[in-house]
Amino acid sequence: MRRFILFGFLPLSLLLFACSEQRPPSLRESQELIVLTREGPTTFAHDDSSPPAGFEHDLVQLFAEELALPARFVVVRNDKQITKKLKAGKAHFGAAWLTTPSDPGLVAGPSYFMSSNVIAQNEDTLPIETPDDLVGKPVQVLAGSRQAGVLRELQKRFPDIQISERKGTTELGLLQRIAVQRGESALVDSAVLDIASNFYPELRYALTLGTDTPIVWVFPAAADPELLQRAGSFIERIRADGTLARLTDRYFGHVERLKQADIVTFVERIRTVLPQYRVHFQAAQATTGIDWRLLAALAYQESHWDPLATSPTGVRGMMMLTEDTADRLRVSNRLDAQQSIRAGSQYFSDLRDNLPASVPEPDRTWMAIAAYNLGMGHLNGARHFAPGLKKDPDSWYEMKTVLPLLARPEYYQRLKSGKARGGEAVITAENVRMYYDILSRHEAPYRPFAESRMGNGTPETARSGPGIRR
């Protein structure tokens, strides 16, 4: 269970401590909010096929909107660079999965997550259970990271620990190395390992170093006190109104749903089964504008990519179409993989498009997946009585608690659509989220027109599910 705390601000005298550091612009002087971050699964991600995303990115964007300032993200290589630039007054604060700083030139802002440092190792190596087990063994760590500092402190007590600081890689890249090379281990943040273990099922949680620690925004000691006060009020507000919980669920709520055996099987089928159907999913992307990897994730949840799959209820094929849906979408043979993928993708796209404009992404996508499982009538029924339960019908986070009620008579008897297995629809959507995450790590986005547009410097990219955040 993840825990949240609100950081109690330091005395004003400490906040105003400037040493020789330069003062960043005050809140009233600023025309933009300048934020230091780094790329990573918990912080900031950006590629050619989708807009910037990440837990820290979205959290900062919400804060910037409250301040009525545009946010400008400055991406740096590591935590050391964040410290250096903050002390030089180059940014308002750092948002990069940071912990409370020990440097007197920096000050911690509000906390919004609890995490820890954990040793990750390959499952085929001897288990690491105590610091003594690290003696004489290489421990990988990102150069310039807080984990590198933790290891150096531990090395004072255990001098024979071998620290190998890696440059030019990411947290996921470091863990990929551990997954494929036996005999090595790495010290990483536990939230990062939660995510990476779904991409690389060979990873194992080993020794936790220290206790849970708050994740915070870090400000220069000379930061504008008004900015610090506004940051504290912002985190307090979004915790109270549920915004923080919804954002946390968006990025971390599904990462522990699949069992290791499920992930191993899925990764193996990406290698052995998916290649023969990839072209059909990519053709469906060209038609619907939906990321082919999301469509493939939905198909795997439905049939495990078995074109001959049949359920006791009569749905059949790769995308498990009903006979009525197949007829409406002009499918002559539901067991033909190409026809099934084309029609199932179009059906899913129609469901998503038919949701009210008030439903944002990525909630829109996850609700459409739930509707794919139980039907739009049942989803609309649950949305209808959600306000009476003080739940937001446009929020997937809140609808996850409403949909299971469709199996209870005091609720479904009030609806024309009747009884439904709403809990099963929630599981379906959450599993698809996880499969999509894994596929996005293992498979490249499809950009069919990129090469033809390279000449004018404006490569075209596919619309990969508007605003989907993982």
pLDDT in tens, 377-390: 999 999 999 999 99
pLDDT in tens, 5-23: 333 443 433 343 444 457 7
26, pLDDT greater than 90: no
Look up 202 and say whether it is catalytic: no
What pLDDT is stored for residue 416 in this prediction? 83
The C-alpha atoms of residue 216 and residue 112 are separated, in whole angstroms, by 7
For the residues 262-280, what does the mean pLDDT come to? 96
SS3 450: helix
Which residues have CB under 8 Å from 449's CB, separation 6+? 459, 460
Which residues have CB under 8 Å from 149's CB, separation 6+? none
Q: Provide Rg for the chain, Cα atoms.
A: 24
The C-alpha atoms of residue 70 and residue 357 are separated, in whole angstroms, by 25
- Greater confidence (86 vs 28) lies with 86
pLDDT in tens, 238-269: 999 999 998 998 888 878 778 888 999 999 99
The C-alpha atoms of residue 250 and residue 239 are separated, in whole angstroms, by 15
Place of tokens 């499918």: 331
Instruction: Please state the φ and ψ torsions of residue 307, each to the nearest 5 degrees.
Output: -65, -15
The Cβ of residue 256 has, within 10 Å, a number of other Cβ atoms equal to 12
pTM: 0.76
| Domains within the chain, CATH numbers bracketed | 12-110+213-252 (3.40.190.10), 115-212 (3.40.190.10), 260-442 (1.10.530.10)
DSSP string, 8-23: PPPPHHHHT--TTPPP
229, 231, 235, 236: CA torsion to nearest 10: 10
- Greater confidence (421 vs 35) lies with 35
The C-alpha atoms of residue 342 and residue 281 are separated, in whole angstroms, by 8
Kindly state the tokens that stand for 5. Answer: 């705390």
pLDDT in tens, 392-450: 999 999 999 999 999 888 888 888 888 888 888 999 999 999 999 999 999 999 988 65
What pLDDT is stored for residue 111 in this prediction? 95
170, pLDDT greater than 90: no
SS3 254: coil
Confidence of residue 49 (pLDDT cuts 50, 70, 90): low
Describe the crossing of helices 55-67 and 225-240 by its angle, rounded to 10 degrees.
110
Point out the catalytic residue in the list 21, 56, 202, 302. 302
What pLDDT is stored for residue 420 in this prediction? 86
